Amino acid sequence: MKLELLAPAGDMRSFDAALACGADAVYLGLDDFNARMKAENFTQENVGEVVRRAHFYGVKVYVTINTILQNQEFKPLFELVNVCVRAKVDAFLVQDLGVAYALKKAFPNIVLHASTQMGVHNLYGAKVAEKMGFKRVVLSRETRLEDIQEIRGHTNLEIEYFVQGALCVAFSGNCYMSSKEQGASGNRGLCKQLCRLPYSAGFERNGKFEKVGEGHLLSARDLSLASNLQALIDAGVTSFKIEGRLRREGFVAQAVTVYRSLIDDIEGGNRNAKLTQNEIERLKTSFSRGEYLERAYLDGGTPFVIEKRFNNHIGRKIGVVKKASPFKEGLFEIVVESSHPLANGDGLKFFDGDVEKASLGAGSPKKVGKNLYSFVTKTALKAGYTVNLTLDSESEKFALAKKRFVPVGLRVVANVGAPLTVTATSGDASFTASSDEPLEKALNAPTDADEIKTQCSKVADSGFEVERCEVETDGVFLPKSVANGVRRIALEGLKDKIVEQFEKEISAQPIFDVDEALASIEPSGNCDSVERYTRVESEKDGIILRNGEKVLLSPDDYRASAVKTTLQSLDLTGADVALQLPVIASGEDLNVIRNAVETNGIKTLVSENVYGLYFVGEGYTVVAGAGHNVANRFAVEQTKELGATAFATSIEYEQDGALPLPRLETNDELPLMTFAHCPFKTIYGNDCAKCAYKAGLVLKRERHEYAVRRIRLSNCYFQLFAKEKQL
């Protein structure tokens, strides 16, 4: 399968940049139901033209519907999707299980991609996604390389993977901090990015907080997997995704240009293709939070992913302030020694050690010596500050000046007594246009073939580039207006043919009546029963059960021996409990879970990620936990179809109707975040060989306290809980 370079578009400028610089596909959101509601986005009014422009260049368009929906939102959702289907959108990215269920039922042949927010990261989850009818999975960033190989080898799914851009510290789709604290849900496209704020870390000893670290302890560095592209291809990835729907068009242009060159090199047979130093610098200058993550989660273990010194774009270091002196009242002259030739419009940041002191434009810099540049600013700076480049104006101008053309061949026939005909051909598409009237013989100087060729090759901003133009003529007079008009009609007709050919494989069908379509798939049945569980983590908890209540075992350690010890200490057997599955589980972790379940005779599982529903086919009783983000009746129906016997509502859920499954209720506190890096590595700098883990770690931010919990499988994972006591 041909490799795909997938670019973000948060607005029309970024969309144009993605097309011009060589993207194979673009993903974008409309005004509603997308996880980047803060972007400018697109509309139902302009999506048709956007898709047509992309398809003309052979570029696919994927629309993001990657948020959690309420029951009352399905009618406007269907109206939006109907517009997109008519516009011939290539596919839709979906997070919500209910959205996936409803769209597959209502829109014949619709193509769905499982958004990274759905959290598919192992073979079991991929198999469930395939069962739901997804064509592609956008794997979570925590997916290991060996799990990608397993998914590719045992499913028919296309695999999409993020290779460049921002990295969420929390497992995508299961971060609830912004929602719980500020009423701005990340699963509804409104994340406040509280992870990027500064935190203190410590332990409570004898009523006092003993601080052991501080900084941006939850702020992840950015991803750049360019050096591992061949490994990802070998594992089965075919779509390489750039994050950045909230980034400037300059970032999109630079990132697409760099990855286009790299992918072309690889497809040309160079398995050792790498980025040049210049390309790496361009990416860092466009956007980077410190050094890039070049392997991220591809390997086992808990990688170092946090940049605790910085939480935003710092670019790349280019020099130092040599002189800073008063210039005029309120102005200062700055002299910078820089390895980068400063130009008007460059963006700079100044640091005193690790502390950012200023961010400003270079103004109109003057070269005042070897590698020395002078400019005037209102900002007071000091000699010795280091200088980072955060916007390379000349490089961005060059990238944004790129144009993309569709090659066209023209055949022009201009003979006396016959209409002028222009046949435009590109690939297998062809269109012929003719003048309304026959051409006349020239009375004096005829319009020669070279003149006709010149006139008919003026394609202006049509998007075409004339590769060849053949002219047949016999001494006619050809008015320029006639030549221009027929050429214009021929190219417009050819454009229609090209788009038509590209779209012939898109078979999704719109619906005629939204209300009727919704009514036809409305889940039936109403179940008022409740399954109540008391959650225990270890033998230290003890249990007090109310009448009819069951035990939900959520262990700190999923190894079979540890689970056995906990069960014995509570005087329970595996048949007495439901095991809460972890949100994240690599293939190695799944083996640990299986061993624990089979060894201890556990028959009931509470799933917190789509992979858990796979166990239904293995004969287990499976309940869909809160991690599935079930917030509407269609999501309940989807979990029911997949075999779940009960479900827990999402924190997003608004009660407003009958539901067809029993509800799970528990004393379980929802983790605000689940992550696959180790906070102790961030704080202490230790690797796993010198594990620094201690129970009781607390993170503080302003008036908030958070407890950190470790979960052990083959790998370690961590959860962040809001402590009951607020400072």
CB of 578 closer than 8 Å to CB of 552 = yes
CA separation for the pair 640, 132 (Å, rounded): 12
CB of 485 closer than 8 Å to CB of 435 = yes
pLDDT, position 656: 58
Is 523-674 a domain of CATH 3.20.20? yes
CA separation for the pair 3, 8 (Å, rounded): 17
CB of 343 closer than 8 Å to CB of 393 = yes
CA separation for the pair 263, 260 (Å, rounded): 5
SS3 label, residue 726 = coil
pLDDT, position 724: 61
Alpha-carbon distances, residue 493 vs 202, 424, 429, 711 (angstroms):
68, 9, 10, 62
Q: Residue 299 class from Cβ within 10 Å (0-12 exposed, 13-18 middle, 19+ buried)? A: exposed
Q: How far apart are the first and last CA of the chain?
A: 55
For 130, the token pair is: 């395939």
pLDDT, position 643: 96
pTM comes to 0.95
For 188, the token pair is: 């509804």
Alpha-carbon distances, residue 41 vs 5, 65, 77 (angstroms):
20, 12, 16
SS3 label, residue 302 = coil
The helix (H) or strand (E) run that includes residue 6 is strand 4-9
CA separation for the pair 110, 237 (Å, rounded): 22
Q: Splitting the chain (727 residues) into consecutive groups of 10 residues, what average pLDDT does each group show? A: 94 96 97 81 94 98 94 94 97 97 97 97 98 98 97 98 95 90 84 93 91 96 96 97 94 97 96 94 95 94 93 96 90 94 95 94 91 93 96 95 96 95 96 94 90 91 94 92 95 97 96 95 80 81 72 94 93 92 97 97 97 97 94 93 92 69 79 95 92 94 93 96 62
Q: Do 4-169+219-286 and 523-674 come out as alike in CATH topology?
A: yes
> DSSP per residue over 139-182, as a string?
--TT--HHHHHHHHHH---EEEEEEEE---SSPTT---HHHHHH
Structural domain boundaries in the chain: 4-169+219-286, 316-400, 413-503, 523-674
CATH superfamily placement of domain 4-169+219-286: Aldolase class I (3.20.20.70)
CA separation for the pair 179, 725 (Å, rounded): 19
Identify the CATH class of 316-400.
mainly beta
What letter represents residue 413's amino acid?
A: V
Neighbours of 102 (CB within 10 A): 28
CB of 51 closer than 8 Å to CB of 614 = no
Burial readout 107-134 (b: 16 or more C-beta within 10 A, e: otherwise): beebbbbbbbbbbbbbbbbbbbbbbbeb
